[in-house]
Structure 1
Amino acid sequence: KWQKAYKHVIQNVKDLEADLLVFYNYPKQIKSSIYSTNMIESFNNVVKRKAKPKAEFPNEQSLDTFIGIQAMSYNDRYFKRIHKGFGQVQDTLESYFE
């Protein structure tokens, strides 16, 4: 139905389809975690909250350093946490990356 009006768009989507829908290849138990942006939003809130008192950064390098340190701290804090569903399919996921 849409082929004539949106020929280029449809072709681009068909070319990218395998990459766009790759998360459907993962086990059902973790699809909601992959699809959700909750972890990203949580990290963004941490960075915003800690950057607010600083008001301004003298240069872009100092901002990059600050965000890098916040990312490492966030990773250290949640290193041993297993997100919903990942514990059930850990062996399957490890086999994907071997």
Structure 2
Amino acid sequence: DVYKRQFYDKWNKAYNHVIRNLKDIEPDLLVFYNYPKQIRPSIYSTNMIESFNNVVKRKAKPKAEFPSEQSLDTFIGIQAISYNDRYFNRIHKGFGQVQD
């Protein structure tokens, strides 16, 4: 990659430590570019996570306190299973246009 080499050459002198760390994580940093263009927004978007967090907050609010950490884990697990069941047949944006 010519552009990558130019970038590293330009900034390596001033930010040697940062560039070294960047080179270490580079294969994982932009891995979503390996996926089809149609589904990339779904991968790097946090909308699904935020939606699930709002569901958990809304359903946990009336409970006020949980007697133990285990009961909280169980509650969140049940909410995750319920959320997955609710959206199981839904085709997320872009995934309907892509094949295995």
Question: Which TM bucket (shorter chain)?
Answer: 0.7 to 0.9
Task: Choose from 36, 49, 58 the match for 1:27.
Answer: 36
Quote the Cα distance in structure 2 between the aligned partners of 1:11 and 1:67. 39
SS at match of 1:29: coil
Q: Which amino acid aligns with 1:10?
A: I
Matched, 1:76 2:85: yes
Pairwise CA distance, 1:28: 0.5
Aligned residue-pair number? 91
Unpaired segments ≥5 residues, structure 1: 92-98
Match for residue 85 of structure 1? 94
Kindly report which structure 2 residues correspond to 1:1-98, keeping only aligned pairs within 5 A, or say none. 1-91=10-100
| Counterpart AA for 2:12 | Q
Q: TM-score, normalised by structure 2?
A: 0.85
Superposition RMSD on alpha carbons, in Å?
Answer: 1.1
Q: Which structure would you say has the larger Rg?
A: 2
TM-score normalised by structure 1 residue count:
0.86
